[in-house]
Amino acid sequence: MEVLLTMLEYLAVLVLVFVLGLVSVIVLEAYRRRHNNVHVEAPAIFEDPNSLKQVPCPYIFDPAEKYLSLIIPAFNEEHRLPGALDETMNYLQQREANDKSFSFEVLIVDDGSRDGTKRVAFNFVKKYGVNNVRVILLGKNHGKGEAIRKGMLHSRGELLLMLDADGATKVTDLEKLENQIHAVARKDHHGDPAADKATFRISDIPIVVFGSRAHLEEKALATRKWYRNFLMKGFHLVVLLAAGPGIRDTQCGFKMFTRSAARKLFTNIRLKRWCFDVELVFLCKWFGIPMLEISVNWSEIPGSKVNPLSIPNMLWELSLMSIGYRTGIWKINS
């Protein structure tokens, strides 16, 4: 009996040492990343592949020059990107032809791809012109969150949409998100109607709309691979603990921001990979930015980068976020 108690005591000490060590590592890593929201890397450069001249690079604090920016992160997407871009450009050009006030840009952020993604992206720049399609090269792989952050910070739109390179969500669904933003903005914008018409700018009102696949959950559970179901269920629980309730599907890659919201969020975001979406929810709550969740059409496309090895990385990032913000190590710039 005494031997058993001694073994349990040793085990308890080992567990305690492990937990304290893990917490210490998380705190130290959170401290190391405290300035991750400050962009000290080389500035983004846009190049016209036809003239080989550099194009002025905008910043999120500059006034909007386009109505809509679409930001597409791409890592080794040479096979899936062309179909998604063809569909996207066809929609945008048709809408531009029908509405002369509509203007757009597509930003493809190559997140250190090792295949022909860069070549595919620049082919679209050559085809449609650098005013409508631009490419940002990150050089090495940083993660989806960093790719989107970079695209958001150097976009020109009043409204900014992030969407995946696989085309899993139909680009036409952006109108659902867009309409919700306009409805909320008009409802919240008070004042004299005559003055409203002259001064109202959708880009100045912070609003975020999350595309959601929550309505497809039952069907997805029956068709999706078991490890992805396990991953999603566990992840939803951890998200609830880390960021609180409010958004059922934080991970859908189809989200729209007003320029004002993007300015606040993407100058503060620190997570670079899978969990940046959860950090967006946390920051929206911190700033009091209205969040809406709208159902979108979605289909699973082969070639997903999510796998069982993503679980430890997701838990690691959520731990960093919780420790970083709750201890005050991560300061939020207003």
Whole-angstrom distance, CA of residue 318 vs CA of residue 323: 9
pLDDT of residue 66: 97
pLDDT of residue 294: 92
Question: Going residue by residue through the chain (334 aa), what tens digit of pLDDT does each one get?
Answer: 666 557 666 676 666 766 677 667 666 666 666 666 665 455 667 777 777 777 778 999 999 999 999 999 999 999 999 999 999 999 999 999 999 999 999 999 999 999 999 999 999 999 999 999 999 998 888 889 999 999 999 999 999 999 998 888 899 999 999 999 999 998 876 554 544 555 678 999 999 999 988 766 655 544 556 666 666 666 666 666 666 666 788 878 899 999 999 999 999 999 888 789 889 999 999 999 999 999 898 776 665 555 566 677 778 888 888 888 888 888 898 7
pLDDT of residue 229: 66
Contact 91, 54 (CB under 8 A): no
pLDDT of residue 192: 44
Phi and psi at 137, nearest 5°, equal -105, 120
Distance of CA 20 to the CA centre of its chain: 32
pLDDT of residue 309: 64
Starting at the edge strand found earlier in the chain, the sheet holding 66-74 runs 133-137, 104-110, 66-74, 157-162, 255-258, 208-212, 291-295
Whole-angstrom distance, CA of residue 325 vs CA of residue 39: 19
The predicted model scores a pTM of 0.83
Whole-angstrom distance, CA of residue 203 vs CA of residue 199: 11
Bridge-based pairing of strands 157-162 and 255-258 is antiparallel
- Cβ contacts of residue 261 below 8 Å, gap of 6+? 206, 207, 208, 284, 289
pLDDT of residue 49: 77
331 exposure class (CB count in 10 Å sphere: 0-12, 13-18, 19+):
exposed
Bridge-based pairing of strands 46-47 and 54-55 is antiparallel
Please name each of the domains of the chain with its CATH number: 46-187+201-327 (3.90.550.10)
